[in-house]
């Protein structure tokens, strides 16, 4: 059995305030790519994780790994005595603002729910996902959603105009700490995210973490400028806390042309040519 861990993007991300518990209250619109990491499972007497792929070597595979934490939480919640040999093909860069670890944990919950024949249901899986991280509930659904609170309170949002839209993700090859980026936020509330649909969030929204991220990793500005200069790019934004940025394109040909040009100019930059998940 296998499951895809779909890459997450934030079409907009408004930071409203820092709560007394230290977390930041945000308003965001999540969308997901068709592609991402891939998680496979085979029968085993123990619960184990092996990782491979371009970024597999950088991941810890011990008990502090989010995939194993998700798997163990699911097993404990339902009293599962079986093990599982998990194998992660890691193609999304870690610490890059596109939900890599959160998406992997969410994929583990979906995959093991089927593998262990639990039929747990979304509500039970959400209860397990929420303590694992603010983005894990959205990644569990892996569909366009509006998120509030820490991002874990989800509600549907109309995304018809952007479904299957060609998408290019670009990262300058620099990992970025979410905590460090939030610490650099200037604490100015620039207003709510007043968007009725996902397309409007792209036009009227913003990413309040971008200035902080760009101060830490100036190359983010270079990536965004390069994407904005690409023919056919209709929207450009940084995702999450960075450093990955994205552009939506009118058609796949213009997206692929942009990818080829950027690869020629900046071969060290990571890229993923995909589409918005429909």
Question: Residues 80-92: pLDDT tens digits?
Answer: 999 999 999 999 9
Catalytic residue annotation: 8, 135
Instruction: Give residue-wise pLDDT tens across range 20-64.
Output: 887 899 999 999 999 999 999 999 999 999 999 999 987 877 777
Question: Which parts of the chain are beta strand (E)?
Answer: 2-18, 24-42, 47-52, 84-89, 145-148, 153-156, 166-171, 233-238, 245-249, 270-275
Fold of 2-156: Ribosomal Protein S5; domain 2 (3.30.230)
Q: What is the pTM of this model?
A: 0.95
Q: CA quadruple 202, 204, 209, 214: dihedral positive or negative?
A: positive
- Domain locations in the chain? 2-156, 160-275
Instruction: Give residue-wise pLDDT tens across range 220-242.
Output: 999 999 999 999 999 999 999 99
Residue 277's pLDDT band, with cuts at 50, 70 and 90, is very high
Of 246, 272, 277, 239, whose CA–CA distance to 95 is shortest? 239
pLDDT at 18: 86
* The 233-238 sheet, strands edge to edge: 233-238, 245-249, 166-171, 270-275
Instruction: Give residue-wise pLDDT tens across range 104-125.
Output: 999 999 999 999 999 999 999 9
Q: Which CATH number fits domain 160-275: 3.10.590.10, 3.30.70.890, 2.40.128.90, 3.40.50.300?
A: 3.30.70.890
Within this chain, domains 2-156 and 160-275 share the same CATH topology: no
Instruction: Give residue-wise pLDDT tens across range 155-201.
Output: 999 999 999 999 999 999 999 999 999 999 999 999 999 988 999 99
pLDDT at 23: 82
């Amino acid at each position: 059995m296998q499951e895809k861990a779909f890459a997450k993007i934030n079409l907009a991300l408004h930071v409203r305030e820092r709560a007394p518990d230290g977390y930041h209250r945000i308003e965001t619109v999540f969308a997901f790519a068709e592609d991402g990491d891939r998680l496979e499972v085979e029968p085993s007497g123990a619960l184990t994780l092996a990782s491979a792929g371009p970024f597999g070597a950088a991941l810890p595979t011990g008990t502090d790994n989010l995939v194993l934490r998700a798997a163990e939480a699911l097993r404990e919640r339902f009293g599962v005595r079986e093990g599982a040999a998990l194998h992660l093909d890691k193609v999304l860069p870690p610490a890059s603002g596109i939900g890599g670890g959160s998406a992997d944990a969410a994929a583990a919950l979906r995959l093991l729910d089927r593998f262990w024949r639990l039929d747990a249901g979304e509500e039970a899986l959400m209860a397990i996902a929420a303590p694992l991280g603010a983005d894990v509930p959205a990644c569990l659904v892996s569909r366009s959603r509006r998120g509030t609170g820490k991002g874990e309170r989800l509600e549907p949002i109309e995304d018809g105009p952007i479904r299957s839209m060609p998408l290019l993700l670009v990262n300058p090859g620099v990992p970025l700490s979410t905590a460090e980026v939030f610490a650099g936020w200037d604490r100015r509330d620039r207003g709510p995210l007043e968007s009725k649909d996902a397309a409007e969030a792209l036009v009227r929204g913003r990413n309040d973490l971008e200035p902080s991220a760009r101060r830490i990793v100036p190359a983010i500005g270079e990536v965004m400028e390069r994407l904005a200069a690409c023919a056919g790019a209709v929207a450009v934004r940084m995702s999450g806390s960075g450093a990955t940025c994205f552009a939506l394109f009118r058609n796949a040909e213009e997206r692929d042309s942009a990818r080829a040009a950027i690869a020629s100019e900046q071969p060290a930059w990571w890229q993923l040519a995909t589409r918005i998940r429909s």
